Chains A and B, each alone.
Chain A
Amino acid sequence: MLVNGQQIVEALWETIVMVGVSLLFSFVIGLILGILLVVTRKGHLWENKAVFTVLNAIINVFRSIPFIILMVAVIPFTRLVVGTSIGTAAAIVPMILYAGPYIARLIENSLLEVDPGVMEAAQAMGATPKQIIMRFLIPEALSSLLLGITIATIGLVGASAMAGAVGGGGLGDLAITYGYQRFDTLVMIITVGILVIMVQGLQSTGNFISKKIRRR
């Protein structure tokens, strides 16, 4: 084997950092955009056709660009933000741009599932728009929202592996440089194995928490 255990642990850590940090930022972006997509839609709290149409279009544009192209396309922006276009920090920027709009869509879907009757009850109680979002919309959608976040996290694990192709570091990097380019099958098996376990773990955790919240 061309790599030692230490390198694998390092790569694993890099992957965790990439996924964790980009998840955090893209979740915040996605949550805001997702809520805006719901409340600006026709007949909702802050109906606003212009905001909805523009947001909707921007999200669709980002969602249609393949990640590998997006990574290259935003290099100038990445350099502007983190000062470099190679390495783990540099991989995080396109990962956020990739996952943010994706999470926005997932959150939008979850929020739209909330029974309109509950919203009506909230309005009948005299709740402010902010209270409606914070105390009714999000808590009611939380269980399904968590499943969406799980899907997005797994998507980010996949993206982080691809980021390896441009020197982003992490398990994907290891798999490409050693496993693929230097034909080290064992490295390939180990890295892919770790990724499989990660994804399994994430999905099970997501399911478990979501179920706990849903209480059924």
Chain B
Amino acid sequence: MITFERVSKIYNGKQQQIKALDDVNLHIEKGEIFGVIGFSGAGKSSLIRCVNLLERPSSGKVTVNNQDLLSLSPKDLREAKRSIGMIFQHFNLLNAKTVFANVAMPLLLANVPKDEVKRRVIELLEFVGLKDKADNYPDQLSGGQKQRVGIARALATKPKVLLCDEATSALDPETTKSILQLLKKINEEYNLTILIITHEMGVIREICDKVAVLDEGKVVEAGSVFEVFAQPKTEIAHKFVRSVMHDDIPRSVYELLKVRDQRQKIYRIVFLGESTGRPLLSEIAKQYAVDVNVLFGSITELQGTPFGNLIVKLDGDENEINRAIMHIHQQKVTVKEVLADVS
């Protein structure tokens, strides 16, 4: 649905060139919710603006809906933009116009007949739950309501792609959740492809199927949300995962490492999917001569699949501990010893 091939974007600054995007390759499938995460200045904003050519890439090819946008004439490009909706961090609504007029705007631009506009706008406002606000002005709405208007406006021309530019970054956590639920609903009901850029890993965890991590204009890691959460390959991806997973080893564990005796070892066990449901710890405690003590743990849900992270202390003979660890390995569960020098 959206393809980036070797896309670069260079800004010519006064003193030096700034490479906002550096040879980016991405492929986003139809119907997917694809998240791009990165810190400020990573190039996220340039990336999403290259999809609908609010910014033109310096080199490379952008294909949306099987159209090479860069090759289109201005007129065809405007036409193509009607099938690419966009919502913004600061909503970007017309403050001088009512909610109704805001949502109707893309239809008026496309010369849709008046009664058709009316029917469609009412339908959209109903969909986002703001039917009773049609005659209000944006400054009478809360942030969440404004973003709902933004979403209704973006959907007006029945786009195939929705671009979300930090769409929840100006909202409180509760409102963020409800907006994300709405995006999910749109994705499911209309089979709309959604590209989200964000700096909040919570957004990725909540609704994305796939994620790409952007750092200094480069995609440093990409894959299913599950993969990246479970086994982040880069330090920066790990940082983002930690921001929502709290899988840092607590200080108390390190304190324990200093005073433990030779018979004790501390491990981190990462459960994925089905294995989360297995009584693994109780199994090893019964089968091997080890005592198991859970020091720390967290379990969260990713894409409807549980994902757990436990830190346990095994107490017993070295041989027995090794056998117990082997057993865990055989269940395709990741287990790693926590060493004192990590901190």
Contact = CB atoms under 8 A, between A and B. Distances in A.
A140 B52 contact: no
A117 B91 CA distance: 8
Given A124-B54, A216-B139, A118 B92 contact: yes
Interface string A117-131: 110110111111001
B199 interface: no
A117 B96 contact: no
A211 B110 CA distance: 31
B88 A140 contact: no
Interface in A62-112: none
B197 to A, nearest CB: 14
A126 B78 contact: yes
Interface in B25-54: 52, 54
Interface residues of B, number: 29
B105 interface: yes
B90 interface: yes
A140 B81 CA distance: 22
A120 B92 contact: yes
Given A215-B137, A216-B139, A124 B96 contact: no
Given A117-B88, A121-B86, A124-B81, A136 B94 contact: yes
B109 A142 contact: no
29 contacts: A117-B88, A118-B92, A118-B93, A120-B54, A120-B88, A120-B92, A124-B52, A124-B54, A124-B163, A125-B81, A125-B105, A126-B78, A126-B79, A126-B82, A126-B106, A127-B109, A128-B78, A131-B109, A135-B105, A135-B109, A139-B96, A139-B97, A140-B96, A142-B96, A143-B96, A213-B96, A215-B96, A215-B137, A215-B139
Interface of B: 52, 54, 77-82, 84, 86, 88, 90-97, 105-106, 108-110, 137, 139, 153, 157, 163
Interface of A: 115, 117-118, 120-121, 123-128, 131, 135-136, 139-140, 142-143, 213-216
